[in-house]
Homo-oligomer: A and B are copies of this chain.
Amino acid sequence: MAVLVQKFGGSSVGTTERIHNVAAKVLKAKKQGHDVVVVVSAMYGETDRLIQLAQSLSKSPSAREYDLLVSTGEQVSMALLAIALTEKGCSARSYTGVNAGICTDNVHTKARIIDVKPDNIRRDLAHGHVVIVAGFQGMNAHGEVTTLGRGGSDTTAVALAAALKADECQIFTDVDGVFTTDPRLIPEASLLPTICYEEMLEMASLGAKVLQMRSVEIASKHNVPVRVLSTFNEGPGTLVTLEEKIMQKRLVSGIAFSREEAIISLSGVPNKAGVEGYILACVGEADIEIDMIAQNATDGVHTDFTFTMQRNDYPKTLKVVEQLANELGAVSVKGNPRVAKLSLVGIGMRSHTGVASTMFKALGNVNINIQMITTSEIKISVVIEEKFLEKGVRAVHQAFELDRITTVKHQAYMES
């Protein structure tokens, strides 16, 4: 018998028929003898409907009231799921974030969970109830409703799993798990049986929108085993866990990518101390968020400075940088608003220096020119022309044989 936290997103509870299916899944786990806590999002479309109501009344709605308003979406889902479970003969009790003891800071609409006091939940589990909790919401120190921002239901689930010392936190989604890369782009992508927290964080932050980043951080900090799996298909999904618990060691685990990027290079900048900081400060003041940064001191006297940003910030950024080039006496400004970022992620590359050269060779073999490179301990990112993205991802995917990862049957609670 285990303690399981199961999270179902908005599309999983999008209709009353789907809520019935979720109830059946929950009941199955309960009948296997597990203590089950379920976290639900709002029914698909409901949060947007509520936001539209608020915005039709005010361009910048009061944050306190906005939270009271949108938190009703999950409250509806939780009560409906409890009704569906009770109808199936399974006693179930639902709780809002406030009553589930989800304590947050005071930042309305983007609150962070700072503590969980699951006394009600523990008591109900001890009485044999299934407990359902509204995701995405909590309460501040004044007992007022706060919301965690979009995607916050994952975070609710993982934080609850940590507080309850759950055996597994199961995130049910509309995909089968975490893939080596986006299967919509590369159909031969493999489902990963396991991935470690660090890799998942890099994948999440790079645009693989399977799990919310904050939830992975909490899972990593409290060592909560998180399983990503499908609401609609059977299968063991992907277990996100500690590096040392992963049996099949791999050099790399996956390729994340993001489109809609732009790049700007400033070359021949006279290399004075603090010049990079000055450039970034000027760009930051124009409210532009920078992603990757690379710098080469070409000849000791001049330096080249390259960075990327979101594509729609490109025109604004170019203007700022051209002024800077004048001011600093730089030789040239070059830019490209149609690039993409491709990132190879793998905990194994920490100890294998050959990973980078294999990656660059693979791109070179298909004639893709790399415009920029940055690296971290478990990630190598390159910027390439967006039109070559698919070709590049496929080349790197094949070079590391990511299409040949076999799904070893590993234990999943819920699967019989």
Contacts and interface: CB of A to CB of B under 8 A. Distances in A.
Interface of A: 16, 19-20, 50, 53-54, 56-58, 61-62, 64-66, 68-69, 72, 75-76, 78-80, 82-84, 86-87, 92-94, 96, 99, 143-144
A202 to B, nearest CB: 38
Given A16-B53, A53-B80, A99-B143, A86 B69 contact: no
Contacts of A57: 16, 19-20, 80, 83-84, 87
Nearest to A17: B56
A223 B126 CA distance: 47
Interface of chain A, main secondary structure: helix
Give the copy number. Answer: 2
A68 B81 CA distance: 12
B93 A64 contact: yes
A211 B93 CA distance: 34
A193 to B, nearest CB: 35
Contacts of A64: 82, 93
A287 B269 CA distance: 92
A223 B111 CA distance: 44
Given A72-B72, A72-B75, A54 B66 contact: no
27 contacts: A16-B53, A19-B57, A54-B83, A57-B83, A57-B84, A58-B84, A58-B87, A61-B83, A61-B86, A62-B92, A64-B82, A65-B79, A65-B80, A65-B82, A65-B92, A65-B93, A68-B75, A68-B78, A68-B79, A68-B82, A68-B94, A69-B75, A69-B83, A72-B72, A72-B75, A72-B76, A99-B143
